[in-house]
Amino acid sequence: MKLKSDAEYRKILTPEQYNITREKGTEAPFTGKYWDCKTPGIYNCICCGTALFSSETKYDSGTGWPSFYKPLAMDKIDTETDTSLGMIRTEALCSNCGSHLGHVFSDGPDPSGLRYCMNSASLNLKTKDSE
């Protein structure tokens, strides 16, 4: 599943991006570049470029992380049970390269009722101007 070696990821990612995507870290709330972003576009995996979320499904969850109520396609995101930090959560991973993206919670808006709470550092926003 992993497309690059750890050494290759270390060369192309910032230390924060590496920590979050490869070591399952997290960024502090209200600090990531996309938590309050309203720019239209597609959010891609920072590690492999897979298109994951549309800005059309992004909403302000009040948590300080970019939140979406659904991915572009359900097969773009894999989930695993995460028992770190003394909690049981659902981890969200890029289905193409296995990068840690964030977590999925069941307190999101309609129509899905889900909140895909992502780390900005795991995403790269592609806009019409950046294509």
Fold designation for 6-130: 2.170.150
Residue-wise pLDDT for 57-104, tens only, equals 999 999 999 999 999 999 999 999 999 888 899 999 999 999 999 999
Residue-wise pLDDT for 21-36, tens only, equals 999 999 999 999 999 9
Which pLDDT value is given to residue 86?
87
Residue pair 115/122 in contact (Cβ under 8 Å)? The answer is no
Q: Which two tokens stand for residue 86?
A: 């003394």
> Angle at CA 116, nearest 5°, toward 72 and 129?
50
pTM value is 0.93
Active site residue 48: no
- What does the mean pLDDT of the chain come to? 94
Residue pair 31/119 in contact (Cβ under 8 Å)? The answer is no
Cα(39)–Cα(56) distance, integer angstroms: 10
The structure tokens 């307190």 sit at: 107
> Angle at CA 124, nearest 5°, toward 101 and 75?
50
Residues pairing with 67 in the sheet? 59, 117
Predicted confidence band of residue 123 (pLDDT cuts 50, 70, 90):
very high
Which one is catalytic: 45, 47, 94, 117?
A: 117
Residue pair 82/68 in contact (Cβ under 8 Å)? The answer is no
